[in-house]
Amino acid sequence: MLELKNVSFEVSQNGADKEIIRDISFVIPDEKFTVITGPNGGGKSTLARLIAGIQKPTSGQILWNGEDITEKGITERARMGISYAFQQPVRFKGVTVLDLLRLAKGQDLTVSGACEYLSRVGLCAKDYINREVDASLSGGELKRIEIATVLARGTKMSVFDEPEAGIDLWSFQNLIQVFEKMHQQIQGSILIISHQERILNIADEILVIGNGQVTDHGKKEDILPKLLGSSSAVNICKGRS
């Protein structure tokens, strides 16, 4: 279980402090699919980086299964079971997909085992297993390979920051299916930052962030109708199909 207690985060801009996250508190239950959404510039991606340990709060606490991890960095949190996927997956020239999966697994991984992870994200293993993780791969391919590495790690919480960014409609449709299968197959929590209605539709819970604060949080059945009926729905659910 992930819990944030009175978390705030501010940065210095032009000699003045600007508060990005303001006194946020919430709980992400175990084995739930949660989507964080809200208007652009509301602090969603900053919140994801705070959860992953890329940035540290100015004040407040972040607890993971009851343990205070506020001062722990991304590497320590990864060891504790929190994965983070960037908006734009990193490319690794000279590193093959098999190498990357073996690094993610953290132990010996057979070729057949690596192929199984690729198959689970809808990729033909024989076409990708020896490919380099470089510019020859499309955005959609990189996203699915990144998800395969998250599956290989088997972490208890997987955080994705706008996974739909930079991919085409066909890749996005396949990405939805991958997340649906991932939710069914893993015994862990999924946390996604997204504007997309189709991603919101497959969530268990939705948390809405605006102006650095939680404006709503609850079951999808309760939150989504309010979002779609609000004046901000066009911004929150843009690009839906």
Report the catalytic residues.
Answer: 162
User: Concatenated DSSP letters for 6-38?
Assistant: EEEEEEEETTEEEEEEEEEEEEE-TT-EEEEE-
Contact 125, 115 (CB under 8 A): yes
List the one residue out of 39, 45, 42, 51 whose CA is nearest residue 7: 51
How many residues make up the chain in this entry? 241
List the one residue out of 142, 192, 135 whose CA is nearest residue 166: 142
What are the CB-based long-range contacts (under 8 Å, 24+) for 107-115?
Answer: 109/152, 114/152
CA–CA separation, 44 and 60 (whole Å): 17
CA–CA separation, 124 and 59 (whole Å): 46
Q: What sign does the dihedral 21-59-10-34 (CA atoms) show?
A: negative
The identity of residue 238, as a single letter, is K
